[in-house]
RNA sequence: GGACAAUUAGCUCAGUUGGUUUAGAGCGCUGCCUUCACACGGCAGAGGUCACAAGUUCAAAUCUUGUAUUGUCCACCA
């Protein structure tokens, strides 16, 4: 058993006395000693570790463990005293229940979890509230689409109640999937506090927010031009529209004067809207048309009289005929013109997009048919002047993919001017900080427009507007009747709208149709825009309008992590609603994470088939690997590309993967194996006895470790996630494994065991926020008596141990090692074959002689200030000296000469440029002394290299 | 049209206030090594006039302006 290198499988059953034998940990069984007489010696739990890190079982094990131990819950849940301490809270940007999570979500939630885990380890009272969004129009559209596919039915076949029931079913299914995905990712959310934007708690917040705004007169109802989806029969937001370039025509026709004295030529891309014209506009300074201003025209087909108006905003004299037909009810610019000139707004469309009775003979026609019929009519009556081809942009609905019609309809609006102003101030005065800072501009620009927000949607899925219309609004006694009935009700507010309707808003209780005798109350059919409930998210999830403990302890939240495309839609509105409802901002910081694109710079989407499913990646590479790569991708850039490739699994399923995730998996495996190797040498719980670290390499690794702790802290404070990942990666791989472990592996003493344990222990802490599973697992194997990584204290940098001099000295030593290895490489000398080396240097290398010999496979190593160059040796310039490697029999003079020549050339050209720089008077006069010194030193080094290489070259000839 | 970005090795990207960077990392590539933690590994190496042009400066991948290409968001095109 002695000398067997594998870690010994020691478990509870055979734990006992241990000893070290040639560096291996060995159990000593002394059966004749009674158990209670055995002295309490350090107990080892050495588990047999696989040569490869196997993420699957380990991940599920720790998910279960953390959950059982309630580690994701805030400290104040178990210990009310913790309420007083500093808090760190985050609310999740609630994913839409339209579908499963994609890689963008994985990135977003990884970042949140990193921040949560880091702050939890800092000892703060930490809460992350998870949840999902009902995503009104998107979800309803998905369910309707499926309904049509599977059952060939429309929502009207089902009715409102049944459709909503179906959507709830869909929601349950996808909410469960989303939750499970988030859990598998390792998200340490407080799952008991999961919310849904349509659940009773959020619904209550919506009712209160709406009621308050309504009472303040900030919510109003009005006829406005909206983007109308003729397929879904609903208004859609500007941002739910995309534009497509289509080939159309530009028709020019005669607009006849009412007195028959002539016509104005007018051009249009949408001739069917002629039927809704209420004016023709010309530029006030247009000599061609000045004389027509104020005259009356006749609308073709319907013979309505309309005026010729002058408008310098709408009309561009250079474009088309220089005259514009004005259709206020069906075009945004014309609508604005209509408002300026007080023109009638004539609606010519039905909800389904067909022409209504205002269109006269064309009534009932729709879309292209209506257009063709009108054009034909114009042609027949001799009014058509010409037809040109014309490319134009057509707005289409994101959801139904059908053409959007600007449409005049009754909608609910929120007055934005004052609310927006206040929300802008929060960012302008630095209360809310964006990272990266440039995104603040995005926010301010959008709010600066102060457009009223259309908050109603003609959908069935969502928060139904808590307004009841009084049907008998013509009754003159209505006002007093309402007043009388609701006299004692502070939860009711009502008023008469601009169109004469009486509107009653109820705070909590739904009103009955026959609530007031003789009157009929009908609830508004519309639901609220999804973003209305999302805007309340930070405080609705914590129970507002109730005065909850949660709000007390965790509001405002610490940071919002989200994507840049919803800065205006969501971030801005949360600030507005939080200021309005809570009287404070909802979060101190907004971190905008990059958008993930595929290798060709395209967004990932179902239709392109380039999406990567996080679950596939977790399955193949592990959650830690996924998280590590997500973290590495988080730079200040606004996008991050991920080359995607197809892969066919054993079960025949085709999935998208990316080689990038190998970095994360390999890194985990590297750490795993370092730990596996060290598992035999772990002697204590990671505590460090600094006094035992006397060697150069010990001091060096301690210095590096503490530097890394400091660097990571700075990176995390500044949301520099990719930097964080890179720092810990290189420390583990290069410093700890490639260098320190390689130095120590031949002979691990108790002291170095202690330092190695300490380093590894600290690495587990530092890496935990990114890779929670493997760190927790390794900790349980190596340090079974310590507290779990998730909860224990984040390491503090010990500045006293950071030593730049030692780090420099160590680099010089490694330059020697690398010089020898380089010669080995050049001559293909097998690693097993020992060679000799001689260093001519004034430096005292006594304390690292063995280290150098070990790492570069030397049979002998001499050093000294006056040593001669051995015959037949290769020479390499090292810091402060030269290194010679005798290679009798294999030395290739040509090869050496070529290399030396190249080296000389390089050093001399560098030296020349440095000399030039240093001889520049202005440089010497202006540059800081440190820079000049640096350049002088560089010059000396280069000259030294050139000089020594020249000597070596010369010597080659005389061997 | 406006705003915001990007352009650095074959690919994906770092490079924080201009000077220890004639430029780093990972993958890929070449050669050697299955050495008792790890081949998801080790060692060595090749590979870049930092998109282009002008300017500021003693000094520019880094700052300014312009050009080209690409992307995202916003607005809009009778």
The predicted-structure confidence for A541-554, as pLDDT tens digits, reads as follows 999 999 999 999 99
Q: Please check the confidence at residue A25 and state whether its pLDDT lies above 80.
A: no
Strand B near-CB residues (< 7 Å), A 270-299: 270
Query: How high is the pLDDT of residue A44?
Result: 41
Say whether the CB atom of A738 is under 7 angstroms from strand B: yes
Partners of A639 in the β-ladder: A595
Binned at pLDDT 50, 70 and 90, residue A238 comes out as low
The answer to whether residues A586 and A539 touch, using CB atoms and an 8 Å cutoff, is yes
User: How much is the pLDDT for A688?
Assistant: 65
A32 pLDDT exceeds 60?
A: no
CA A110 – CA A188 distance, rounded (Å): 10
Q: Is the CB of A847 under 7 A from strand B?
A: no
Helix, strand or coil, per DSSP, at residue A159: coil
Overall average pLDDT of the A656-683 stretch: 89
pTM for this model (two decimals): 0.86
The tokens describing A11, both together, are: 């478990």
Contact yes or no for A190/A128 (Cβ under 8 A): yes
CA to C1' distance (Å), from A823 to B26 = 26
Token pair for residue A333?
């610019």
User: CB of residue A937 closer than 7 A to nucleic acid strand B?
Assistant: no
pLDDT of A176 above 90: yes
Question: Any idea how long chain A is?
Answer: 959
A366 vs A50, A170, A381, A697, CA distance in Å?
69, 34, 22, 82
pLDDT at A938 exceeding the cut of 90: no
3-state secondary structure of A534: helix
Chain centroid to Cα A519, Å, comes to 52
pLDDT score, position A221: 85
List the strands of the sheet with A521-523, edge to edge: A492-496, A502-506, A467-470, A521-523
% helix, strand, coil for chain A, step of 5: 45, 20, 35
* Nucleotide with the nearest C1' to A54 CA: B40
User: Which residues from the 297-336 window of protein chain A have CB within 7 angstroms of nucleic acid chain B?
Assistant: 314-316, 318-320, 322-325, 331-333
pLDDT tens-digit readout, A506-549? 999 998 988 888 888 899 988 999 999 999 999 999 999 999 99
pLDDT in tens, A842-851: 888 888 888 8
Instruction: Report the DSSP pairing between strands A881-886 and A502-506.
Output: unpaired
φ/ψ of A568, rounded to 5, equals -80, -45
A482 confidence band (pLDDT: 50, 70, 90): confident
Q: Which nucleotides of B are covered by protein (CB under 7 A)?
A: 3-6, 11-16, 19-20, 22, 25-27, 31-33, 35-45, 57-59, 70-78
SS3 A20: strand
Q: How far is Cα A34 from Cα A50, in angstroms, rounded to an integer?
A: 34
Closest C-alpha to A822, from A746, A751, A903: A903
**What is the structure's pLDDT at A918?**
85
Nucleotide nearest to A937 (CA to C1'): B20
CA distances from A761 to A687, A728, A775, A829, A870 (A): 8, 13, 9, 38, 46
Residues 579-618 of A with CB under 7 A from strand B: 595, 597, 599, 601-603
Nucleotide nearest to A320 (CA to C1'): B78
Contact (Cβ atoms closer than 8 angstroms) between residue A206 and residue A539: no
pLDDT of residue A42: 36
HSE-CB for A759 with a 13 A CA cutoff: 32
Read off the pLDDT of each residue in A386-405 and give the average, rounded to a whole number. 77
Which nt has its C1' nearest the CA of A723? B14
Residue partners of A215: CB distance under 8 A and separation at least 6:
A493, A505
Residue A765: pLDDT band by 50, 70, 90 thresholds?
Answer: very high
The DSSP result for A839-872, as a single string, is EE-SS--GGGHHHHHHHHTEEEEEEETTPPPPTT
User: Is the predicted pLDDT of residue A30 greater than 50, yes or no?
Assistant: no
- CA A88 – CA A126 distance, rounded (Å): 5
Task: With CA atoms as reference, report the closest residue to A170 among A149, A194, A141, A195.
Answer: A141
Task: Read off the tokens for A833.
Answer: 């074959």
pLDDT digits (tens, 9 = 90+) for A124-158: 999 999 999 998 888 888 888 888 889 888 888 88
- Residue A324 to residue A253: CA distance in whole angstroms: 11
Q: Where are the alpha helices (DSSP H) in A718-800?
A: 721-730, 742-744, 750-767, 772-782
Q: Which residue from A155, A162, A185, A165 is spatially nearest to A59, judged by alpha carbons?
A: A185
Give the CA A186 to C1' B30 distance in Å: 41
pLDDT at A47: 53
Over residues A857-901, the pLDDT tens digits come to 888 888 888 888 888 888 888 888 888 888 887 878 887 888 888
- DSSP character at residue A793: P
CB-based contact A692:A36 (threshold 8 Å)? no
- The answer to whether the peptide bond before residue A932 is cis (omega within 30 degrees of 0) is no
Q: How many CB atoms lie within 10 A of CB A429?
A: 8
Q: How far is the CA of A444 from the C1' of B5 (A)?
A: 18
Strand B proximal to A207 Cβ, under 7 A: no
Using DSSP's 3-state secondary structure scheme, residue A320 falls into coil
Structure-block tokens of residue A610: 């380039």
Q: Which tokens go with A494? A: 């009502």
Residue A608 is encoded by which pair of tokens?
A: 């392109």
Distance CA(A223)–CA(A685), nearest Å, equals 71
Residue A320: CB atoms within 10 Å:
18
């Amino acid at each position: 058993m002695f000398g067997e290198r594998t870690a010994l499988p020691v478990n509870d059953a055979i734990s006992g006395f241990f000893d070290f034998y040639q560096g291996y940990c060995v159990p000593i069984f002394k059966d004749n000693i009674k158990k209670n007489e055995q002295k309490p010696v350090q107990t080892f739990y050495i588990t047999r570790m696989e040569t490869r890190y196997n993420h699957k079982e380990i991940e599920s094990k720790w998910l279960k463990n953390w959950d059982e131990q309630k580690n994701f819950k805030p400290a104040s849940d178990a210990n009310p005293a913790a309420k007083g301490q500093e808090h760190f809270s985050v609310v999740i940007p609630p994913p839409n229940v339209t579908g499963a999570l994609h890689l963008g979500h994985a990135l977003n939630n990884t970042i949140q979890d990193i921040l949560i885990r880091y702050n939890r380890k800092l000892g703060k009272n930490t809460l992350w509230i998870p949840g999902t969004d009902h995503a009104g129009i998107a979800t309803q559209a998905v369910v309707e689409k499926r309904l049509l596919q599977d059952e060939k039915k429309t929502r009207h076949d089902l009715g409102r109640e049944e459709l909503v029931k179906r959507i709830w079913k869909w929601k349950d299914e996808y909410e469960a999937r989303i939750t499970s995905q988030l859990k598998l990712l390792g998200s340490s959310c407080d799952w008991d506090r999961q919310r849904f934007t349509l659940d009773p708690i959020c619904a209550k917040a919506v009712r209160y927010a709406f009621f308050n705004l309504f009472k303040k007169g900030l919510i109003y109802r009005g006829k406005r031009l909206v983007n109308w989806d003729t397929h879904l029969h609903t208004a859609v937001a500007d941002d739910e529209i995309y534009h497509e370039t289509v080939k159309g025509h530009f028709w020019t026709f005669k607009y006849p004067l009412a007195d028959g004295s002539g016509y104005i030529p007018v051009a249009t891309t949408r001739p069917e809207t002629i039927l809704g014209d209420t004016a023709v506009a010309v530029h006030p300074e247009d000599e061609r048309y000045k004389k027509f201003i104020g005259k009356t025209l006749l609308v073709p087909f319907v013979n309505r009289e309309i005026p010729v108006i002058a408008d310098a905003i709408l009309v561009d004299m250079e474009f088309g005929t220089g005259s514009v037909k004005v259709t206020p009810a069906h075009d945004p610019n014309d609508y604005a013109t209509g408002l300026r000139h007080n023109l009638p707004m004539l609606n010519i469309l039905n909800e389904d997009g067909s022409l209504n009775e205002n269109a006269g003979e064309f009534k009932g026609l729709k879309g292209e048919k209506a257009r063709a019929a009108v054009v034909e009519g114009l042609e027949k009556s001799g009014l058509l002047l010409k037809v040109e081809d014309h490319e134009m942009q057509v707005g289409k609905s994101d959801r139904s993919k059908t053409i959007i019609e600007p449409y005049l309809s009754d909608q609910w609006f929120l007055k934005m001017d004052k609310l927006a102003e206040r929300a802008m101030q929060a960012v302008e005065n630095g209360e809310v900080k964006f990272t990266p800072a440039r995104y603040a501009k995005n926010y301010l620009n959008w709010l600066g427009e102060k457009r009223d927000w259309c908050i109603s949607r003609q959908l069935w899925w969502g928060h139904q507007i808590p307004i009841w219309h009084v049907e008998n609004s013509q009754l003159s006694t209505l006002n007093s009747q309402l007043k009388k009935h609701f006299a004692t009700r502070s939860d009711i507010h009502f008023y008469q709208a601009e169109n004469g309707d009486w509107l009653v808003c109820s705070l909590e209780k739904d009103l009955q149709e026959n609530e007031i005798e003789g009157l009929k109350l009908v609830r508004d059919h519309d639901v609220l825009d999804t973003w209305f409930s999302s805007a309340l998210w930070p405080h609705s999830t914590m129970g507002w309008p109730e005065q909850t403990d949660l709000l007390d302890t965790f509001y405002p939240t610490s940071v919002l992590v989200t994507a840049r495309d919803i800065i205006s839609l969501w971030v801005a509105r949360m600030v507005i609603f939080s200021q309005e409802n809570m009287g404070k901002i909802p979060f101190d910081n907004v971190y905008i994470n990059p958008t993930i694109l595929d290798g060709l710079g395209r967004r990932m989407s179902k239709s392109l088939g380039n999406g990567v499913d996080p679950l596939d990646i977790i399955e193949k590479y592990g959650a830690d690997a996924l998280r590590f790569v997500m973290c590495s991708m988080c730079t200040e850039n606004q996008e991050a590309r991920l080359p995607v490739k197809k892969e066919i699994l054993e079960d025949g399923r085709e999935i998208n993967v990316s080689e990038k995730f190998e970095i994360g998996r390999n890194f985990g495996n590297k750490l795993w194996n370092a730990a596996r190797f060290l598992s035999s040498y772990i002697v204590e719980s990671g505590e460090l006895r600094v006094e035992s670290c006397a060697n150069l390499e010990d001091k060096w690794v301690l210095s590096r470790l503490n530097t890394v702790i400091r660097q990571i802290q700075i990176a995390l404070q500044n949301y520099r996630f990719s930097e964080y990942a890179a720092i810990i990666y290189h420390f583990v791989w290069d410093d700890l494994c490639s260098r320190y472990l390689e130095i120590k592996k031949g002979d691990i003493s108790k002291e170095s065991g202690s330092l190695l344990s300490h380093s590894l222990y600290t690495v587990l802490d530092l890496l935990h926020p990114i890779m929670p599973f493997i760190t927790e697992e390794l900790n349980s194997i190596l340090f079974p008596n310590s507290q779990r990584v998730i909860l224990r204290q984040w390491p503090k940098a010990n500045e006293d141990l950071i030593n730049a001099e030692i780090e420099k000295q160590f680099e010089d030593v490694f330059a020697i090692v690398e010089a020898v290895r380089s010669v080995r490489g050049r001559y293909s000398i097998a690693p097993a074959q020992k060679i000799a080396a001689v260093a001519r240097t004034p430096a005292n290398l006594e304390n690292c002689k063995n280290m150098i010999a070990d790492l570069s496979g030397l049979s002998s190593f001499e050093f000294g200030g006056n040593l001669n160059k051995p015959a037949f040796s290769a020479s390499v310039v090292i810091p402060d000296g030269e290194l010679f490697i005798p290679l009798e029999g294999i030395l290739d003079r040509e090869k050496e000469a070529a290399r030396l020549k190249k080296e000389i050339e390089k050093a001399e050209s560098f030296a020349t440029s440095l000399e030039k720089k240093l001889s520049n008077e202005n440089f010497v006069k202006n540059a800081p002394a440190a820079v000049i010194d640096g350049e002088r030193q560089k010059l000396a080094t280069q000259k030294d290299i050139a000089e020594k290489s020249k000597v070596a070259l010369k010597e080659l000839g005389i061997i």
